[in-house]
Amino acid sequence: MDRRFGIRRVRLHIGTTLLAVGLGLVAAVPMLRAASPAEEIVAVVGDRPILRSEVEEQFGVVAGQYQLTPADTAEARQLRSEILDQLISNELLFLEGVARGLDVTEEELDEAVRQAEEENIQGLGGEAAFLQELSLQGMTREMFRSRVRDLARREGVTRRLVQRDIRPKVEITDQDVRAFYDEHRAELPPRARGVRIQDLFIEVKPDSFVAERALKKAKDVRKEINDGLAFAEAAKLYSDDPTGDSGGLLPEPIQRGMLSPELEAIAFALPAGVVSEPIETPFGYNLIQVEEKDPNGTWVRVRIILLGVATTRSDIAAAEARANNVRKKIAGGLDFTEAIRKFSEDEISKQKDGNMGWISMQNFMGDLRTAIETLKVGEISQPIPGDNGYHILRILEEEPERPFEYAEVQEDLRQWAFQARLEEELEKMLEGLRTKYFIERRVTNW
């Protein structure tokens, strides 16, 4: 059967989150719903019923990804059918993992519960909103935790099964990668147009009095923390960042390139447990505390407190006026590189004469993308709003859209080839499990 949505392609579900099989991902469980006692059972695997609500939870996620509506269309029916197939496969893998003696530690389950609660509290806007949503879903906090533990155990056992008994069977050679490239070359998207640009940036700066007040507040908060107030409590009390309600903890380990340069430099240099001095960014003053660091220096887990500095319409107008004034000077004959050295307000790019290196067009959005799409090599843009300021850009070089060369995608292809081979091995196991365990599919026509 033609599987339009590819739901069975080496993917697992947990709650309403899709997780890749065997890639070492940690389960993240969004808000769950309590099952109704009279709810329809759509399938049974072993002695576990699969409920219609489980299919509908997944349908809501995947239909959004494919921009489908829940209407009774052929595509919607097929998607629900594929989701049920996947839920059945998930349960088969879990049962086999248990039969082979695999399990998850209590510490891992406790961590899954902690992460699930933090993510929901952060996503819903605070502890009170989280508890209210639980009530609306007909769940107590203990019911939520129990459901999360169950889902985390199932995901963990299945992941261990794949890692221990399937992944070792998959080996990808350089010849396999090349063959995969030759077979799928026509399916690869083109390499987007790339541009090498110079950027003169004019920042929207708040009133100096407002900035000084935020800096003083940041110093006061840091003193409170050093005097004994827990960083997480300080974040809840004072932070203007959306993570404040969850104690300032960023939701995932931070790798290089994920934070602004100002914050990244401090985050990777700061010892665990130490509170940074106030760090100025375009949004205000930040305090950072590192919770955990990768010994190899590839990631950190951090908490952050933002003491925001609000900008006004007059601040924006002043920045626009400065940008327009600089653009007039350039039009009057001022060399663009000299203008960057003299007027740019981004100190980091200014040190490189505004040279931002090669950037793919895929990385630009909004007004910046629109302006760059029409800009030719050597031309200088008018001031473009973005990133809490105004950009004046010059394209130094460009490389048109073209097919990817093999060397450019070799490592990506290796992962894709590995995933395809893993999928084949997974399907071989599932074929045997479908005869080993009891399966009753009660709904065939959605």
Domain segments of the chain: what residues?
11-172+414-441, 194-204+313-399, 208-308
- How many residues are given for the chain? 446
Query: What secondary structure letter does DSSP report for 64?
Result: H
pTM: 0.60
E-strand ranges in 277-324 read 279-281, 284-293, 299-308
pLDDT digits (tens, 9 = 90+) for 2-54: 333 333 332 322 233 333 333 222 233 445 555 555 579 999 999 999 999 88
Backbone φ and ψ of 34, nearest 5°: -75, 140
What pLDDT score does 378 carry?
96
Pick the CATH number of 11-172+414-441 from 3.40.50.300, 1.10.4030.10, 1.10.3720.10, 3.40.80.10: 1.10.4030.10
Nearest to 172 by CA among 407, 6, 411: 411
- The domain over range 208-308 is classified in CATH as 3.10.50.40: yes
One fold for 194-204+313-399 and 208-308: yes
CATH code for the part of the protein at 194-204+313-399: 3.10.50.40
Instruction: List, for the chain, all residue ranges whose pLDDT scores fall below the cut of 70.
Output: 1-38, 69-72
pLDDT digits (tens, 9 = 90+) for 300-336: 999 999 998 888 899 999 999 999 999 999 999 999 9
